[in-house]
Amino acid sequence: MSSIPVFLLKKLYVKGSLKNTPTGFELAIQNTIAPGTIVGMLPVIVDGKEYPVEQTTVVVGDGSKLASADVSARSPLKFGVGQRVTIQISADPLPSGPHKLVLGPKTKEAGTLKIPVDDTVE
């Protein structure tokens, strides 16, 4: 578990980024803390429902895509300050309205981060 305070972790989430897509839904995080290395991903949790990493794709700032399950210590994802990462989930679209999310990137520097946030699908 990370020693980073929750209020700082919440700043990683890009408020308003939760939206439905033709293949499910997506959300984004942006590094506002310090350079890091993502070495894994936990399932995304929305309103208590877990979406396995096998259903998620990571899209980095340059548009390149990587299956979340492929992010590992052997195949890490550099997460520099200011870098934005979009997480796409292949699933049914979310209903309009507010949602409670928990994101879980695993980092080399700070361990597993549990980021609890609220956002709304318009």
CA–CA distance, 80 with 122 (Å, rounded to integer): 30
pTM of the model: 0.92
Average pLDDT over residues 71-100: 96
Beta bridge partners of 99: 119
The pLDDT > 70 percentage for the chain reads 98
pLDDT of 106 > 60? The answer is yes
DSSP string, 28-81: EEE--S--EEEEEEPPEEETTEEE-GGGEEEEETTS-EEEGGG-SSSS-EEE-T
Residue 117's nearest CA partner among 5, 1, 3, 9 is 9
**CATH code given to domain 6-121:** 2.60.40
Domain ranges of the chain: 6-121
pLDDT digits (tens, 9 = 90+) for 22-79: 999 999 999 999 999 999 999 999 999 999 999 999 999 888 999 999 999 999 999 9
pLDDT for the residue numbered 4: 85
Quote the mean pLDDT of the chain: 94
